[in-house]
A and B are shown apart, each in its own frame.
Chain A
Amino acid sequence: MSDATIPVGALDGARRSDDAAEDSGWAGPGGLVGWLGTIDHKRIGRRFIVTAFLFFAAGGFLAALMRLQLAVPDSGFIGPDRYNQIFSTHGTIMMFLFAVPIGQAMAVYLVPLMVGARAIAFPRMVAFAYWVYLFGGVMLLVALVLNIGPDAGWFSYVPLAGPQFGIGKRSDFWAQLITFTEVSGLMVAVSIIATTLKMRAPGMSLDRVPLFVWAMVVTSTMILFAMPAVMLASTMLITDRLVGTHVFNAAEGGDPLLWQHLFWFFAHPEVYFIFIPGLAIVSSIVATFARRPVFGYPAVVLSLIATGFLAFGLWVHHMFATNVPELGKSFFTAASMAIAIPTAIQLFCWITTLWHGRINLKTPLYYVLGFFFVLTLGGLTGIMLAAVPLDLQVHDTYFVVAHLHYVLIGGAVFPLLGGVVYWFPKIIGRTMDERLGRLSFWLFFIGFNVTFFPMHILGLAGMPRRVYTYAGESGWGPLNMMSSIGALMIAASLLLYVFNVVRGALQGPSAGVDPWGGGTLEWSTASPPPAHNFDAMPVVGGREPLWESNGIAGSVVNLGMKDREVLITSVVEAKPHHRELFPCATTWPFFTAIGTTILFIASIFTPWAVVWGSPLVALLATCWWWPSLAEARRHREVEVPSQ
Chain B
Amino acid sequence: MTRASDSPLAPGARSPVIDAARLPTYAFGNQSLVWWGTVGLMAIEGMVFALAIAVYFYVWTRVDEFPPRVMAPDLVWGVVNTAIMLLSLLPNQWAKSAAERRDLRAVRIALVICIVLAFAFLGVRALEFTTLNVRWDTNAYGSVVWILLALHTTHLLTDTWDTVVLGLAVFDDGRVEGKRFVDVSENAFYWYFVVASWLPIWFVIYIAPRLLQK
Contacts and interface: CB of A to CB of B under 8 A. Distances in A.
A557 B17 contact: yes
A1 B19 contact: yes
Given A246-B143, A252-B140, A642 B37 contact: no
A10 B25 CA distance: 9
Interface string A391-404: 00000000000000
A641 B179 CA distance: 10
Interface residues of B, number: 68
A539 B18 contact: yes
A298 interface: no
A254 interface: yes
B199 to A, nearest CB: 19
A232 B51 contact: yes
Interface string B55-79: 1001100110000100000000000
Given A190-B37, A197-B36, A202 B17 contact: no
Contacts of B21: 1, 6, 10-11, 14, 557-558, 560, 640
A14 B36 CA distance: 26
A78 to B, nearest CB: 38
Interface in B1-35: 1-5, 7-9, 13, 15-28, 30-33
B43 interface: yes
Given A246-B137, A635-B178, A640 B9 contact: no
Interface stretch (B85-93, B125-133, B168-176): B168-176
B103 interface: no
For chain A, what secondary structure do more than half of its interface residues adopt (helix, strand, loop), or is it mixed?
mixed
Contact of A627 (B9, B17, B180): B180
Contacts of A3: 3, 22
A194 interface: yes
B185 to A, nearest CB: 11
Contacts of A539: 9, 16-18
Interface stretch (A289-297, A463-471, A576-584): A576-584
B59 A193 contact: no
Contacts of B3: 3, 5
A560 B41 CA distance: 30
A245 interface: yes
A474 interface: no
B17 A639 contact: no
B7 A576 contact: yes
B146 interface: yes
Contacts of A190: 36-37, 40-41, 44
For chain B, what secondary structure do more than half of its interface residues adopt (helix, strand, loop), or is it mixed?
helix
Contacts of A203: 8-9
Contacts of B116: none
Interface string A469-501: 000000000000000000000000000000000
A146 interface: no
B23 A575 contact: no
B102 A641 contact: yes
A197 B140 CA distance: 42
A553 interface: yes
B5 A575 contact: yes
B162 to A, nearest CB: 9
Interface stretch (A82-90, A222-230, A418-426): A222-230
A17 interface: yes
B165 interface: yes
A359 interface: no
A579 B25 contact: yes
A199 B142 CA distance: 46
Contacts of A167: none
Contacts of B118: none
A374 interface: no
A67 to B, nearest CB: 38
A253 B65 CA distance: 10
B102 A577 contact: no
A633 B32 CA distance: 21
Contacts of A553: 9, 15-16
Interface stretch (A236-244, A319-327, A504-512): A236-244
A231 interface: yes
A253 to B, nearest CB: 4
A625 interface: yes
Contact of B43 (A224, A579, A622): A224
A209 interface: no
Nearest to B169: A627
A632 B52 CA distance: 41
Given A194-B36, A643-B2, A577 B31 contact: yes
A234 to B, nearest CB: 12
B71 to A, nearest CB: 16
Nearest to A194: B36
Contacts of B59: 247, 253-255, 258
B139 A252 contact: yes
B119 interface: no
A194 B47 contact: no
B113 interface: no
A203 B91 CA distance: 40
Contacts of B143: 236, 239-240, 245-247, 254
A503 interface: no
A533 to B, nearest CB: 15
A255 B36 contact: no
A17 B13 contact: no
Q: Considering residues A6, A243, A245, which has the most beta carbons from chain B within 10 angstroms of its beta carbon?
A: A245
A281 interface: no
B147 interface: yes
Contacts of B9: 202-203, 539, 553-554
Interface in A114-156: 121-122, 125
Contact of A578 (B31, B51, B165): B31
A121 B13 CA distance: 31
A638 B36 contact: no
Interface in A620-637: 622, 625-627, 629, 632-633, 635-636
Nearest to B172: A629
Given A558-B19, A618-B161, A122 B33 contact: yes
A641 B24 contact: yes
Contacts of A443: none
A639 B26 contact: yes
A186 interface: yes
Q: Lowest 4 CB-CB distances: which A-B pairs, in order?
A: A190-B40, A254-B140, A245-B143, A554-B16
Given A190-B44, A641-B178, 15 more contacts: A5-B3, A190-B36, A198-B36, A202-B8, A244-B136, A245-B147, A247-B147, A253-B139, A567-B20, A578-B25, A625-B165, A626-B169, A632-B180, A635-B177, A639-B178
24 contacts: A1-B22, A6-B21, A14-B20, A202-B9, A239-B143, A245-B143, A247-B144, A253-B59, A253-B141, A258-B58, A262-B51, A554-B9, A554-B13, A557-B17, A575-B8, A577-B23, A578-B25, A580-B25, A618-B158, A632-B174, A632-B175, A642-B2, A642-B27, A643-B1
Interface of B: 1-5, 7-9, 13, 15-28, 30-33, 36-37, 40-41, 43-45, 47-48, 51-52, 55, 58-59, 62-63, 68, 102, 136-144, 146-147, 157-158, 161, 165, 169, 174-180
